[in-house]
Amino acid sequence: MPLRLISGMLRSSGNDAMLIMDSGMVNQFVLVTKQAILDIEAPPRCDESRLQQHIQIFSNIASEKYDRGDVKSDGRVWITSDDVAKWKRVH
């Protein structure tokens, strides 16, 4: 079942972002690394505006990873710069 975005925000540390997504049964937490946010668009920028501008892309990547069972041992889906690079190649 695809994940649906509930909310997303840059963490106060500025080192990553957290998305909260609905799996249909429970909330799924998704971590988006700083490098993934920097790599989503040129020029590189990691701020709340950039996250919100591309939140649907990050949500889609997270949903695809979740559906494949690509979940870390801490229970979260992690979106890295490698995931962004793969998305860019396809789109």
The residue ranges of every structural domain in the chain are: 4-84
CA nearest neighbour of 51 among 23, 2, 88, 10: 10
Low-confidence ranges of the chain (pLDDT < 50): none
pLDDT of residue 1: 74
- Compute the C-alpha angle 50/67/17, nearest 5°: 25
- pLDDT in the model for residue 85: 97
Is the CATH number 1.10.3720.10 carried by domain 4-84? no
Would you say 62 and 46 are in contact if contact means Cβ atoms under 8 Å apart?
Answer: no
Query: Rounded distance, CA 73 to CA 5, Å?
Result: 21
Say what the pTM is: 0.94
The answer to whether 21 touches 5, Cβ cutoff 8 Å, is yes
